[in-house]
Every structure is written in structure tokens, then in C-alpha cells.
Structure 1
Amino acid sequence: MSIQKWGGVAAIAEASIYLFGFVLFFTILDPSGFEANVVDEASGIAINGLTLDVAQRNLLFMIQNRDSYFIGYLVCGVVFSFTLLILVQAIYQRFKQSFPELMIFAAAVGYLWVGIVLASSLIFLIGLGAITHYYGLNPEQALTIHRTLSIVVEALGGGIELVGAVWVLAVSYVGLKSHIFSPWLHYWGMFVGISGVLTLFSGLSFLSTQPLFEFMTAIFGLGQILWFLVLGIGMLSETSIAESVSYIED
């Protein structure tokens, strides 16, 4: 199977992984409805009859659903990263003829995105075990580790979507200028990419409380589902047409 066909499969797989992640983390692993009582069934630790606050409740929910979180990050982080690696290589091979210098830059950014997502996922998987261990020894210490882990993972894996957004923007620009695939795919990719770039400015004090940036993050995540899906279909369709033409000529 050609690298472009592998790339098409990878793109559709990325869209599927995104859908899996949204369903898992926003429905099945939503801690908002979790009513923790005063005793942690996982560790048997009594909490003196006090109601848990939000942070403690979320921590306890994560520990009690440790395996689900592990599988979620394994799929949405580790599998996503290696699948993205295939797609970045396939896109580079397909687009490099028209803008070779820009595609070298785009490929480098794509590989950087792979590394960042993979690193954040592995950090979470290791941290999940540490949190569970320390919760049985000192719940407050486990809560501190959890907060620290959340900052690190968020910084690398989704709080700011700059790296992935730049890759999508570069690919969309080259595709549009080179007339590769549908122009609407690349217009959509540029919209998604710009939304991701805007998340960079959420740290400014006068913008940090604005809901716009949460909206931009949602657009980048949800918008990529459609972008990956249409991109994958385009790559597979183009490959099928090329193979049919080659077969007729032979």
C-alpha cells in the first residue's frame, strides 16, 4: 500500500480518535455528576465525614476510573501520535512538489506536534500511577501532584494549540495554492488553524477570563474531525483514481 493510501487511512483514523476522545472524556468520564461520599472505596480512607471539594472529588473520580483514563490517553495520545506521524509524512510526500521549502517547515512542525502530544500523554500515564500511589499515603500530596500534572499536560497537550494549528495552516495554504484536493477543505483548514493560533493569547491577563478562547479551543478540536475526515477521503480517492488509471494504461 502506498504512503498516500496509508496517509488517507491515518487521517480518517485521526478523526475517529478525536470522536472517541470527545465521547469518552466529555460523557463517560465527566466528573460533574460524581457524588463522592466520605469514604474512598478504592483506598478505604475515611475523610472524617466532610464533603469533598471540587478538586478532591475530581481526583477521587480519576483514581476510581484509572483504567478508563489510561485507555483514553493511550488511544488519544499515544495511538494518535504515531498515526499523525504517518499522516505528516504522507502529506509531505504529496505536497512537496509545489512548495518544497514550506513543506519542509510544515513537516518539521508536524513532527514537533507528534512529539508534544506523545510526551504529554506519557507524562500523564506515568503521573496517573504516581497519583494513585500517593493518594493511599497522603491525599493532600496526591492532590498537589495532580494539580502539577494537570498544568504540565495542559501546557503540552491542548491548553495552547499553536503547534498543531501552524501545521494545519501550512498544509491548507499549500493545498490551496497547489490546487490539491477541494479548496473548501483548505479554507476550512485555515479557519481551524487560525482558531488554534488564537489560543496562544489566552494567557494575557485582560483576555484570560474571556470565554472566546475556550470557544477557539473547541473549534480547533471539533473542526479537525471534519478536516481529517475529508482529507483522508480525498487522499484515498485520489490514490484509487491513480491506481485505476495506471491499471488501464498497463
Structure 2
Amino acid sequence: MTDFHKFGGIAGLIAAGTYLFGFVLLLSVLEPAGYGTGDIVTQAKFMAENQLTMYVWNLVIWILNAIVLVVLALATHDKLKEKSPAFSQVATSFALIWAGLILASGMLANISLGAVSQLYLTQPDQAGTLLRSLSLVEEGLGGGNELAGGLWVLILSWGALRANLFSKPLNYFGILIGISGLSTLIPTLAPITGAVFGLGFIGWFAWIGIVLLRN
């Protein structure tokens, strides 16, 4: 095992942790407190009153996730490049694009949090309008569809399957997640396939992390 593969395995486990942290905080703290409910002005008010919690949430699910995703992507690239260089190069390209989009979304989310919270103190309606506009941009970058992430795990898993790398159950699981990510481009399927993509990646990140640590 090279040190870099070990770092990739740790990055996979951390990535799984960021997703798990996001879901747990959303369901146990944010939603019970009113996050995502009411009109857009009410949502702006929620952000203004819960800045620290929202900042930590953004930091973990966006910024930290993007950082460890780069390490994981390069580690899997190193494992696959000898047996399937074309698949490895294409998959890693989409992984790095995805990491960039996630990082941009996190930076925008934090800038939005400060701007909306400050504006809400004097102009609540304008804060709601600003939040709506910034949320659309954020969704377009990293939350509205899962094209880049879906392509990464689909191509990586397909290439690993052809190269007899990792394990077949892990690769088939990755292909399933990749297809669910691509399916988020269809509006009628997005609510279901988006949940499959997000929850499935918790397991996939942890699984690939353990594989990299053991091999």
C-alpha cells in the first residue's frame, strides 16, 4: 500500500462522514427548527438567526467534501490507470470538475449566508429576493443535478469492472449510483434518484475508502 492510497482511503471515509453529518444535522436540527419551510423571507430570517449552524453545515458538506473528494479521485485514478488508463483519465476529469462545482457551491453558500443575514436586518423582503437568486445559482452549480458526480462514479466503476479491480459488488453498486445521478436530470425522477444518489454515496465512499486502506 502506498501512502497516497492510504490518504485516499482516509479521504473516502471522511467524504462518507461529510454526507452523514449533513443528513443528520438536516433531519435532527435544521428541519425541526424550520429550515426550508415557509416563504423565502421566512427562510432568510432562519438564516439570519442561525448563522453559525448554517456556516458549519456549509463548511462540512461543501468545502470539506470537495477537498477530500480531490484526494480520493486521484487515489482511485492511481489504482486504475495501469489497467484501464482511458477510463481512469475520463473518470478523474469528471471527479475534479465535480469537486470544483462543490467547492464553488460552498463558497457561494457562505457568501450568501453573510449577505442575506446582513440585508435581513434592514430590508427583509429584499433579503428574500437575494436569497432566491443566490439559491438558484447554488442549485445550478452543485445541488440541482448530479451530472458530474454521476459520470465520475459510473465511468470509474465501469472501468474497474472491466479491469477486474476492486470488487464486483462495489463496482455494480457504483454503477447504480452513477445511473441514479444521471437520472436527476429528469425532473420527475430527481426527488427519488437524488435521494438514492446521496444516500448511496455514503456507503460507496466508506466502501471504497476501506478498500483503499486494505489494499
TM-score (norm 2): 0.94
Amino acid at match of 2:132: R
Indicate yes or no: 2:77 matched with 1:92. Answer: yes
For structure 2, the 5+ residue unaligned runs are none
Q: How many residues align?
A: 213
Change (3 A) 1:34 1:18: closer
Deviation at 1:53, TM superposition (A): 4.8
Partner of 1:194: 179
Change (3 A) 1:53 1:177: closer
Partner of 1:143: 128
Partner of 1:66: 51
Are the counterparts in 1 of residues 44 and 124 from structure 2 also a CA contact under 8 Å?
Answer: no
Q: How do 1:78-227 residues align onto structure 2 when only pairs under 5 Å count? A: 78-202=63-187, 210=188, 212-227=189-204
Deviation at 1:86, TM superposition (A): 0.4
C-alpha RMSD over aligned residues: 1.6
Percent of pairs with identical residues: 37
**Residues of 1 paired with 2:40 and 2:198: CA distance?**
25
Are the counterparts in 1 of residues 157 and 175 from structure 2 also a CA contact under 8 Å?
Answer: yes
**Residues of 2 paired with 1:156 and 1:136: CA distance?**
28
Amino acid at match of 1:135: Y
Deviation at 1:108, TM superposition (A): 1.0
Deviation at 1:98, TM superposition (A): 1.4
**Residues of 2 paired with 1:104 and 1:53: CA distance?**
45
Indicate yes or no: 2:31 matched with 1:55. Answer: no
Secondary structure at 2:67's aligned position in 1?
helix
**Residues of 2 paired with 1:105 and 1:76: CA distance?**
25
Amino acid at match of 2:196: I
Structure 1 residues 24-81: Cα deviation after superposition (integer angstroms, max 9, x where no partner): 12321115x549xxxxxxxxxxxxxxxx953332221121111111011111111111
Change (3 A) 1:237 1:102: same
Deviation at 1:178, TM superposition (A): 1.2
**Residues of 2 paired with 1:141 and 1:14: CA distance?**
36
Are the counterparts in 1 of residues 158 and 171 from structure 2 also a CA contact under 8 Å?
Answer: yes
Q: Which has the larger radius of gyration?
A: 1
**Residues of 1 paired with 2:138 and 2:25: CA distance?**
18
Runs of 4 or more above 3 Å deviation: none
For structure 1, the 5+ residue unaligned runs are 36-51, 203-209, 239-250
Indicate yes or no: 2:209 matched with 1:232. Answer: yes
TM-score (norm 1): 0.82
